[in-house]
Chains A and B, each alone.
Chain A
Amino acid sequence: MRVISADKISKAVSDLCAKANFSLRKDVLECLKAAYKKEANKKAKKFLGAVIANAYVANKERIAICQDTGLPILFLEVGQDVLIKGDLKKAVNKGVDQGYKKYFLRNSIVHDPVDRKEPGFIPALIHIDLVKGSKIKITLLAKGFGCENKSRLKMFNPTVSFSQIKQFVVEAVKDSGADACPPYVVGVGIGGTADYSGYLAKKALLKPVACTKIRKLESDLLKEINRLNIGPMGLGGKFTCLGVNIETAPTHIAGLPVSVNISCHALRSAVIEL
């Protein structure tokens, strides 16, 4: 049995807060640079230049990439041979609280969703998965809410064609228009249950955004979305979307849940393994 202390987990999570919010993911930055090179719309190109400059300023000066430092979502893969000394969930929240305070991020969390008083830094949303082994893998996703507000769920009939699913995803992006900071990264969850497909769509955002080599389903969707001509910041152009990631799961013979979770161009996540 490997022992990992709660303090060690808190420290790791605190570090992730800085990493996710100050340093744009390499895969996302590469896609943005490629888009900048290829974008023909002059205003859109200038904007993409600003997005890339913003990533450099944030990283160099340790200022948050975006003022919406998100609702911190933590994905924990805990090895079943690990003994955690202390309270795991408390340790994670302590790490988020310390990190968000230490790095001057934003207190965007309201405890009571109805009375909405006194925004704070926690609680984070924590997903815990038990896996084989004796390690803990922690991923922090700082999910902005401008794009979270554009999420979609549809319970399709099992006889649906893939083109109908595609249409649903494209419509979700079309309705987001310029509001949620395009160029987007689109996460799609297919299968499972209503709630689980939402979780899959979110998890899809954690996979590398491969703007060159992707699966056919994903590349078909990407092409179709980029025909919408929403473009960076809604200014028109080739790049409404940087990449589409799909996660699938087994489901029931009677249904086909599909969820869409859109990310703004500032897709921020960071990973650590203990």
Chain B
Amino acid sequence: METDDIIARISQKLKAQGIEPRPEKIASKINRLVTEFGVPPSEAERTILQDTFKEHGIEQPKPSAPSSDAVGIGTLVPGEWVTVEGKVVSVTEPPSPAVAQTGVIADDTGAVRFVIFAKNAPALLRVGEWFRLESAVVDEFRGLANLKIHAGTTVTPINDDRPLTPEITRIADLRPGIASVTAKIVQDWEVRHDRMLQTGLLGDESGTMKFVIWKGGSDRKLEPDTAYTFAYVPVEEYNGRLSLTIDPASCTPVDSEIAVSAGPAGSEEPMPLFEGKIISVRHVGSETVRESGIIATPDGAYAFTIWGDAQIPALEQGNWYAIEGATKGMFRGAPRISINQDAVLSPVEDRFLPPPPATPVADLAPGIATVRVKLAQEWESRSERMLQAGLVGDETGVIKFVIWDGEGVEQIQENIVYTFFYAAVEEYNGRLSLDLTHATPLPDEDADIEVSRGGKSISGALVHIASGSGIVKRCPVEGCNRVLSRQNFCPVHEFQPGFQYDLRIRGTLDDGQTAHNLLIQREAVEKLFSMTLAEAQDIAENQPLGADEVARQLGDRALGRYLTVTGREFEGLFIAFDAKWLFFDPARHTALINRAGGDLA
């Protein structure tokens, strides 16, 4: 549908320049840019239009000629120059000194936020009055249409107060932007922010939504259980949830009874009836969370949360239950089962649960896992509540662990291999750690494992490749190994025609915080590029550009790519004996989506 709109707009603009549009060709270009190259639709539209104008030798016209006919505010599309006539229904304190005024302007088709920048600002608008704005620009600010009134905008007051009735939107139909609602205040929450005057929940027949009143306005509060009409209020999105920012001065009590329906659920998936064994359960007892713990099900073990509104008896550790009406969602990057008021639970007979297989440390992912590890390093505890912290490891690698103090919790001992059943694998800032506090340890005093200590690994983008990368010649004198010049000259041993070749990459691996000087050694370079030293030597000796050609080929394939390198840091130079390309990780993608908004606030 969006594609059709873009085609229509492009066609119209081409026609205005006397070019006959070809919708199929435009559609295929949109598809290529948007689908294949992930270009935002607005940028694709602009690109296609400009490229087509260029093909026809037309000088780039202004975004669109300022039209003198006023358009409906509800129809504004970012990227256009427009003339509108509307009533200023509110003005707000400018968010920064660069802004002279912000507010909301409305006509009978809708409402939009406007902004006037301090630099070269035309006259400010007065609330409650009508204005004609010629040559204003619709742009996008934080994902919403925003009307920009700039030095070139002609602002003319309209001296008659036209009737304007806000159109009421049902709460379930609200989208980020400006809207008017009629709703009843159903909950008054405790205020936890200095600048906040009141917050709570309001609702209508279609659902409920959070509202906020900031201090600095009329300091009037809304009465619980009272219905109001809120005209032209901002609907904002935070963490994937909408809320209304209300100015009590612009709301009017209404005399109608509203039957408020309960709010919509989150992004949890309902689960079919399942059976599981309670591995551990802890009483939390807060207003929202009653208990939490770990449950083993036939398809794996999960963390679970019993919410405050759940209507089920207390769970017994070690018992089996059949659970119906639970939901599954993601919490902090790991799957989690939620048991709330809709869940029904019945005890079922105890039965054999095969011990879960151990996961190699290198393969751990956020969630619940069983590991077979040995203490590799013990760290000084940094908090009273922390019983023990450090590294545990197996043949595949090491991982940070923590054990929190608590009843019956013990430290782990050196030189003993433990199997920890149902440990919590947590992720923080992209790094995994194990919480062994509630895991069940099983020491195996006869066993031993070789913990892989490896080198240090760092990941980042290769943002620079230095000269001296690729194939180089080294001085063959015992213990020298210096890189020779093009003329085979060693700074110490002079001309050395009997040189040896080597392959390496010198450059900068940048993780966004630190730019590491990096040297990737031959074995790692060969593996990374599937190019042996012999093949590189063949290119260097037989192609016109010689060694430069090797450097160019490696550079083209490595620059701007992500790598994980393993090795040791030595006087500010990271020497890598292993290097791997980094690939897209769907689990990291999911975890980030949760972190950016799928999670609880």
B partners with A: no
